[in-house]
Amino acid sequence: MSWLSTKRIVVTGGAGFLGQHVVKKLEERGCKQIFVPRSKDYDLVEMEAVKRLYKDAKPDIVIHLAARVGGIGANLKNPGKFFYENLMMGIQMMEQGRVFGLEKFVAIGTICAYPKFTPVPFIEDDLWNGYPEETNAPYGLAKKMLLVQAQAYREQYGFDAIYLLPVNLYGPGDNFDPDYSHVIPALIKKCIDAIEEGSDEIVVWGTGKPTREFLYVEDAAEGIVLATERYDKADPVNLGSGLEISVEQLAKLIADVSGFNRRVIWDTSKPDGQPKRCLDVSKARKEFGFQATTSFEEGLSKTIKWYKEVRGVK
């Protein structure tokens, strides 16, 4: 039985894509006092709602997953919104946690916080060696400020806050809205749409040359809960699979698995995003024993199968 089982735990974003799996992992460890605030009841951008959440839930631990996120297109459309809302949610949740006397705060950052030209694989020490890729810099920097806050609060107040850097997530239940989805659900939707419409081609943003790393959502949830249980240091920690794949290879793989065997057209007038993304994941393994267990092919197959079932596609 985990020591977490006796704690009152708030999981912001706990009803979301990643959050549902984090809640399930906590329940598997015997946690019975889990509070998942809904945005309609608690707008965490507003300080009064954050104060009310602490008063209502009386947590010992907060796992802060709630975020305003999206792919390149969404980031280009909403730089101000993504910056302000992510910054305010995180900073207020951590500050009020400190005032409340919280035992532990788990802040979830983003790979978008890394500099645009970070040597591969990304190591945590490179986090401040440059400016993030421009299309998602406002989001990445807003989330990065939680690391600064966590370290400052640890130093001044002895506040136990940790900061995790998950790579791009994917899996069943992901966001397939074309305005906000990331690359894997966006490509899956394009392929299934093309099959249903009888189209001979799909159009994909960029050149296909950038590389990405992906982490299956259940693995990410396990990593977050392991860190909550076992990690209590100021240094940020990457959460990833260690697998690097080009967007071009990814598109071909998704087309193949989904059954779309036609042309992929690259719209090179659209941005590529960050040139390369792949994490050094050794610190997570060393500090709290996390290692991804789902192979990319298995995770992709599960995701496509789920999406086809939701769409009613055979």
Contact 241, 296 (CB under 8 A): yes
CA distance 245 to 210: 8
Contact 231, 168 (CB under 8 A): no
Please pick, among 42, 139, 231, 307, the residue that the annotation labels catalytic.
139
**139 in catalytic set:** yes
Whole-angstrom CA distances from 131 to 13, 72, 111, 117, 174 are 28, 17, 13, 8, 28
SS3 12: strand
3-state secondary structure 291-306: CCCCCHHHHHHHHHHH
Residue type, 41: D
* Sign of the CA dihedral with 85 first, then 90, 91, and 96 last: positive
Closest by CA to 256, choosing from 302, 222, 301, 209, is 301
* Sign of the CA dihedral with 224 first, then 178, 259, and 271 last: negative
* Sign of the CA dihedral with 93 first, then 95, 96, and 98 last: positive
Question: 63: which residues sit within 8 A by CB, 6+ positions away?
Answer: 9, 10, 11, 12, 14, 22, 106, 108, 224, 228
CA distance 300 to 34: 30
Burial-class residue 231 by CB neighbours within 10 Å (0-12, 13-18, 19+): buried
Active site residue ranges = 139
